[in-house]
Amino acid sequence: MAFKNIKTRVIVPVVEMTPMIDIIFLLIIFFMVAAQFSQQSRVAMALPKVLVPSDGHAAEYVLVINLLEGGEIIVDTSQGAISLDALRTIIESKSAAQEVTWDTLLVRADVACPTEQLNDVVQLLHEYKYPAINIATVVE
């Protein structure tokens, strides 16, 4: 027996695209925000050339240690470059007389100064029990 009026139905599956589009927009927003955070960590800063405390008065430093590009140490411009041992005797005499405290001490390091030299000076100041020091950098 043959069936004459059989209608064949074609079922077309419907794929809902709205949730897929929502997920795509959420991913785009996530990557845009993540890119902004990665750029903020690489922001170039301009460091000040002159240190001025927050009260507006310029600090009076008793001892200023300058570290130059070649690693030379200059404490007083009239003396010229000195060695680390000469700096040790200057710090020892000024700390024994209690002329220099941590807030009247300034270390100025040139941008091209070797970091080993800066580390040696900071370690020397740590030996003489300075709880903190002021460090300025020259940016040009």
Residue 70 in domain = yes
- For the stretch 51-61, pLDDT in tens is 555 554 455 77
What's 67's domain CATH number? 3.30.420
Would 91 be classed as within a structural domain?
yes
pTM of the model: 0.55
pLDDT tens-digit profile of 78-97? Answer: 677 888 888 888 888 887 77
- The verdict on residue 31 lying in a domain is no
Number of domains in the chain: 1
Domain assignment present for residue 116? The answer is: yes
In-domain check, residue 104? yes
Question: Which structural domain range is residue 105 located in?
Answer: 63-138
SS3 65: strand
